[in-house]
Amino acid sequence: MRYYPTPEAGLDLREVNRAVEEAFAEHGRGKVQMPPKVYINFEHGDFRTMPGYIPSLNTAGVKVVNVHPENPKSGLPTVMALTVLLSVENGIPEAILNATRLTDMRTGAAGAVAAKYLSPSDEITLGVVGSGRQAGAQVEAIAQELRIRKILVWSRKEQNSLAFCGKYSRFDCESVSLERVCDANVVVTTTPSRKPLIRDEWIHEGTHINAIGADAPGKEELDPGILSRGTVFVDDPAQAVHSGEINVPIREGSFTVESIRGTLGEVILGKAGRKGNEEITIFDSTGLAIQDLAIAGIAVKNGECINLKFP
């Protein structure tokens, strides 16, 4: 059994995107095993257990991930994750990975795959809402799939969006208003907002949106009018209804499960997709166990590790 303390180091992002794309395609074919996330609730947070198996990648295991919103007060991340990979052939735990950064990256990879298939163009201006870890992960992963001519970024604190521009200056990055971010061809939203930030009238025809931030009941970033006007794709319908961008609009009756056009897996398989240059497309990402397993399967190939005695 091996432990990988920094499995994100040196990962080939393009290879990660391909593994995550393969996982979603297999999900679209109905060939993965992925039971619903299981929640354990604490007074100050929770943890989720996410098991899965992707036969085509010969990869199986489980991610354990917490959410403790008060952690930053004591210097710890809100979200920390550990992934255990098991041998399909004999069930032995083969690898344990510190999966905190991998979780950001696999979410970035899902956004990149969605943008690859749903972007109105291969050469884009990328709008980024929020400037945290996930904002960066989206930029880096999408840059593997599309040519980013310019980035328009907004953050609640301008100093953060300016720092973001410094980090991503190679993309001609500009700190702008929230409305102006929406002038981009592809917009990614990465905030923990609990009320819509993006107004319907700001979104132009033909835009693709990766709605990343909403990952728990009560969270939403987009005016529900955007969902009605556009076409919604999800990673997994059950998870999206429970905790994705569509969770509040569905509860409030302004969106219905039947309105989901398809899953990202179905998009990859060509069973669903963008219809013309004027359509607004939205990818509602909640994060699937199979993404965690796909990236872990890549990370253990070359990552630095230490050997642990087992059994």
Nearest distance in Å: CB 201, its own copies: 40
Q: What share of the chain is helix, strand, coil (3-state, %, to 5)?
A: 35, 25, 35
- Write down the catalytic residue from 63, 150, 157, 271: 63
Task: State which residue, 101 or 116, has the beta carbon closest to its own copies.
Answer: 101
CA 8, CA 12: separation in Å to the nearest integer? 9
- In the complex, the residues that contact its own copies under the rule CB under 8 A are 3, 5-6, 33, 35, 38-47, 49, 51-53, 60-62, 64, 66-68, 71, 74, 76-77, 80, 82, 84, 86, 88-93, 96, 98, 100, 306, 308-311
Helix (H) or strand (E) holding 189: strand 186-189
CB contact at 8 A, 56 and 275: no
CA 181, CA 170: separation in Å to the nearest integer? 18
Task: State which residue, 73 or 170, has the beta carbon closest to its own copies.
Answer: 73
Task: State which residue, 83 or 210, has the beta carbon closest to its own copies.
Answer: 83
CA 178, CA 203: separation in Å to the nearest integer? 11
DSSP class of residue 103 equals H
Nearest distance in Å: CB 9, its own copies: 12
- Token pair recorded at residue 49: 């257990």
Task: State which residue, 6 or 121, has the beta carbon closest to its own copies.
Answer: 6
Please indicate whether residue 309 is annotated as part of the active site: no
CB contact at 8 A, 131 and 167: no
Helix (H) or strand (E) holding 209: strand 208-211
CA-based radius of gyration for the chain? 19
Active site residues: 63
